[in-house]
Structure 1
Amino acid sequence: MTAIEQRAAEQFRRDTAKHELTVLHDDGLHRHLRVAEPGSGHLWFELVTWPGGLTIRGDMGCYIFSCAKDMFDFFRRSAWGGGPNLHYWAQKADAGDIHAGVREYSADLLRKHIEDDLAALAEDDLAERLRVRAEKLGTTSDRLPAGAAAGCRAASAAYMAGLREELDDDLLGELPMWCIDDEGDALAGVRQFDYRPDGEPPFTFDADEWKVRDWSGPYVWCCHAILFGIGAYDRVKAEQPVPALSAAATADAEALAHV
């Protein structure tokens, strides 16, 4: 579960702690449900179904899904471990909210790519310094004198510290040149970052394959809401008494029982 998924799930539980279901229409596959806190319109949502389709709409956005004839049954059967099946359901989304959509840029994912690359660089840089130093001394990295190895580690640490200082100025600091919370700005900053300290190897990011879009918070929230609404609906249906048989139907049933 990504950070966005976790935050959205926790937010949904808080937001709907007092929500209740109102069935506005219930005729076979044609349903209209409203879920909201009684006496409040805050973070309300509605589920509307018809044969082959479902719409969720409300304060957190609007999404339309289509797949099976009975969409309530589709969401019940395809839930993942009792929770939203975000990947599969996204494939069945015909329309996403105009403000958030199904996926959105995540600065957290961008930071993770940066940190992963820097961790790999630090390891490779130290290994290369140890190799070069060992080669000059006619030995191997694992047999370097303690002083020589310590010098390599200090040089590598200084190299990485300078890189991070420049990266903070450009992108990660409090007042950076590029805004990491804006997708276009952040990617431009990453692609233009060029660390070239005197006498040291240069470093640039290779961000062409980076995935920096995650599930949007509203999409995850609405997926939780769909399961919440269906669950509440199922409980209401289960609590409804079975219609009593008419006297004539009861008599027919008893007659058949004695045939």
Structure 2
Amino acid sequence: MSTDPIAARFARHTMTVLHEDGLYRHLRFEDPDGQYPFELITWPFNLVVKSGWTFHFDIDATPDMFDLFRRTAFPGEINPGYWSEKVRAGRDEIEGFNPDLFEQQVKQYVVHSIRHGEAPRGIGAEVTREIFEMGDISHEAGARAALADFRYNDWDFGDLPEWDFSDYTPGFLHSCHAIRHGIDLWTTSRKPATA
């Protein structure tokens, strides 16, 4: 069983086949409580996942998209980097500002500056107060503004355009796990029962 909290959402899901004719499939998945339902729809060279977010994947080299997703990740795992390259519709939902990544990078930069003697005494407390407690860092524009406005004894965060606070969105990761789990359930349902 996966320890990933997103993957764990699908642990109790069952599958309903709404349509299946070769590579033309429409499958619905949900748990007994109706939580996190999703659908997988396929046709040659295409897969659409509808999971609260909708992503359309296509690739000219692989008629059965289930094969693509199986071959490009270890069993039970996802490969968001490679899979994101195959998204045709929903591209603007793949990556977004990640406040946890922002906080991690800011703290690493401050620690690095302290260790190398580049930051003035008291910088850690001032960054915590000015940026993490008083700054509006729930969105990228506010986070970047908090960094740009920060000055403490002539110390600042340097060249801000180089900083990247984006990561895969929770919706894209949720959809990747839904795809993986749905394909695994479908594959298991196709295996002959052993005596």
**What TM-score comes out, normalization by structure 1 length?**
0.67
2:126 to 166, 171, 184: 166
Q: How does 1:20-169 map to 2 (within 5 A)?
A: 20-38=14-32, 40-59=33-52, 61-67=53-59, 68-80=62-74, 82-96=76-90, 101-125=93-117, 159-161=120-122, 163-169=123-129
If you compute each CA radius of gyration, which structure gives the higher value, 1 or 2? Answer: 1
What SS does the corresponding residue of 1:234 show, helix, strand or coil? helix
Higher strand share: 2
CA distance in 2, matches of 1:120, 1:191: 18
- Kept in 1: contact 2:76–2:184 (CA 8 A): no
Give the count of matched residue pairs. Answer: 190
**What TM-score comes out, normalization by structure 2 length?**
0.88
List runs of 5+ in structure 1 lacking aligned partners: 1-5, 127-155, 197-201, 242-259
Instruction: State the Cα distance separating 1:124 from its structure 2 match.
Output: 2.0
CA distance in 2, matches of 1:34, 1:217: 21
1:194 to 151, 154, 157: 151
1:203 match: 155
Pair 1:183–1:24, CA change in 2 (3 A): same
1:180 to 137, 162, 185: 137
CA distance in 2, matches of 1:235, 1:82: 12
Higher helix share: 1
Q: Deviations over 1:126-153 (max 9, x none)?
A: 7xxxxxxxxxxxxxxxxxxxxxxxxxxx
Instruction: State the Cα distance separating 1:34 from its structure 2 match.
Output: 0.6
Pair 1:229–1:81, CA change in 2 (3 A): closer
CA distance in 2, matches of 1:210, 1:80: 31
- Kept in 1: contact 2:102–2:165 (CA 8 A): yes
Instruction: State the Cα distance separating 1:112 from its structure 2 match.
Output: 1.6
What SS does the corresponding residue of 1:181 show, helix, strand or coil? coil
- Kept in 1: contact 2:131–2:146 (CA 8 A): yes
What SS does the corresponding residue of 1:208 show, helix, strand or coil? helix
CA distance in 2, matches of 1:45, 1:51: 20
List runs of 5+ in structure 2 lacking aligned partners: none
Pair 1:81–1:23, CA change in 2 (3 A): closer
Q: How does 1:238-249 map to 2 (within 5 A)?
A: 238-239=191-192
- Kept in 2: contact 1:193–1:205 (CA 8 A): yes
- Kept in 2: contact 1:30–1:49 (CA 8 A): yes
Counterpart code for 1:104: G
Counterpart code for 1:44: P
